[in-house]
Amino acid sequence: MVCAESPAEFFAENKNIAGFDNPGKCLYTTVRELVENALDSAEAISELPVIEITLEEIVKSKFNSMIGLVDRERVDEALYDDYETAKAREKRLAKEARAQEIQAKNAALGKKVKEHAVSKSSKGRGEASFYRVTCRDNGRGMPHDDIPNMFGRVLSGTKYGLKQTRGKFGLGAKMALIWSKMSTGLPIEISSSMRGQNYLSFCRLDIDIHRNIPHIHLHEKRDNKDKWHGAEIQVVIEGNWTTYRSKILHYMRQMAVITPYAQFLFKFVSDAPDKNVSIKFARRTDVMPPVPVETKHHPSSVDILLIKRLIAETSKQNLMQFLQHEFVNIGKPLAERLIGEMGPEFSPKMAVKSLTDQQIVRIHQLFRQAKFDDPSGDCLSPAGEYNLRLGIIKELHPDMVATYSGSAQVFEGHPFIVEAGVSVGGKDVKQGLNIFRFANRIPLLFEQGGDVVTRTALKRISWNNYKINQTQDKIGVFVSIVSTKIPFKGTGKEYIGDDISEIASAVKSAIQQCCIQLKSKIVKKMQAREQQERKRNLSKYIPDASNAVYDVLQEMAKSHASKKKRYEEGDADILRKVSDHLITKETLYEKLTQHVEKVDYEMALEYATQTGVREEPREDIYLQSLDGKGNFFDFHSPIFVFRLFL
């Protein structure tokens, strides 16, 4: 008898498809899953997220003491992967000596010196690094009795509704627990409390991978003196901070861009103080996107297997009720027309559970061929143009930024919204295109080359047409796509393919709209720069011009005094003042300077009037929200949100 493989076993054996390819990627994915779970939890109760994530490096000796393992001295050195024969050691030392000699010569010549690479033999394959990952949030928490199954049972849900979600596989911290079980054998620890609870739930558990059930070590209620609500999850895993440090920090920074209403505190703690990292990503706004709502399937988006599942799950009795209540955009008149088109063996009152496989195939074929209204985008929750702009400004401090939020569109029966931002200049931004991709408000950091955003930005946007230099300027391209179904490519779901024309067209249009806004700003900035240049050029010639004019006036004054040449009364008055030294070179210099300033001011005022800028200088400000809870309405604009308290 062959036993069926449990879902936990499947993901343990195929952990790479959930982003657990190697120790470094496992550490990154664990951080990502915990942070995204924490955001979902806080947003579900409309609480501004406050998330603390801590990575504590655990050296081998400390890890061994945690699991009760006594360190042993090596007996057979040749048995180990990092063992080096005398000949190999001599060869390595000679190579290092040559490298040091070359470095010394280059340093003497003033050339750039590269750091010497660490020899592969310096760290063996079995020299693992372990980390305690802790994530604490202020979300809704978890019901006490549900905690074991929420963490110790993979794919326990049975819902088939559609909803915009951050997760890629619906695994959350479960995959981190599976990796912990595989790499360290240590259990996960969960502390949780819900709003209004006077107790705190504590659970220590691991997972029985073969049976796909939780193995509970301790599950108890503790006193919640601080009335805290949220969750704190702690797991010890094998990882590699050195190779994935930049990816983890980039992830946190990009998460701060797309969720400026959240506060993140990231810490890396090590026994070596110089390796410690502590970064706070401060909240920039308290305007949160609405919580995504669950919606029903669009007829054109379902397959035969999903129709069978919906039939098995439905509470409706007949075919008419099933079509009306299990799908969007099918009202009673359309349902009657569809049933009539299916054939004589179908009727509105027939029992939906009695449908044969052939009849289900007929329904599917008609769904694919019939014309339906597009699904609404009301179920989606984009970041919002205001939040995207704030996030870009907060993290990159660009010289200028433009944002755009498109209307809902549809591919294969699924609604989607594309938002984009393009920035020029900024802090820690490289020259050229810097592409930031987001799917359902989470950053995508891997497999960038094949992504629709990357290909569009590189190949389909003529940057020069918008006065932007693709290679010299520091350009940030931000594109966020939200949908009930993100069409990821690859097993790891790390990028969105370039083969869906509706999405590719929407991405291009959104970036172009940002570029059009920027072009207007850049042209006006260039005009202002030209005006300043003209002022500098005029000012540069003022001394020579005032000297030349004064010399001419002196010659004219001498001619007038000797009566060799007579001038009209007005000119004669000026020449008398020159003779009496009432008009000097300094007078002319001052008058010319005043004239240049006046012309510059008039041109600047005209520029300000055209752009809607007031005469006094401006700077971005952030007004802290009022204390206390109250009823209010938010009026959204691309560049501000006006909150009216009732």
158 is in an annotated binding site: yes
Cβ contacts of 311 within 8 Å, gap of 6 or more: 322, 352, 353, 355, 360
159 is in an annotated binding site: yes
Cβ contacts of 365 within 8 Å, gap of 6 or more: none
Phi, psi at 55, each rounded to 5°: -110, 115
Q: Which two tokens stand for residue 476?
A: 């940030």
112 is in an annotated binding site: no
Give the up-direction half-sphere exposure of residue 377: CA atoms within 13 A in the CB hemisphere. Answer: 16
171 is in an annotated binding site: yes
Q: Which two tokens stand for residue 524?
A: 């006006």
* Residue that has been written with the tokens 């009657």 in this structure: 336
170 is in an annotated binding site: yes
DSSP state of 408: P
Cβ contacts of 196 within 8 Å, gap of 6 or more: 229
174 is in an annotated binding site: yes
d(CA 642, CA 646) in angstroms, rounded, equals 13
DSSP 542-610: HHHHHHHHHHHHHHHHHHHHTTSS---HHHHHHHHHHHTTSS-HHHHHHHHHHHHHHHHHHHHHHHHHH
The rounded Cα 268 to chain-centroid distance in angstroms is 21
d(CA 529, CA 525) in angstroms, rounded, equals 6
438 is in an annotated binding site: no
CA angle at 428 for the pair 422 and 434, rounded to the nearest 5°: 40
548 is in an annotated binding site: no
DSSP 342-395: H-TT--TTSBGGG--HHHHHHHHHHHHHS--PPPPSTT-----HHHHHHHHHHH
Task: Please give the torsion angle defined by the CA atoms of residues 89, 90, 95 and 99, in that order, rounded to the nearest 10 degrees.
Answer: 90
CA distances from 128 to 63, 202, 221, 224, 297 (A): 10, 29, 35, 37, 46
493 is in an annotated binding site: yes
Binding site, residues? 37, 137, 158-159, 167-174, 493
Binding site for ATP, residues? 37, 137, 158-159, 167-174, 493
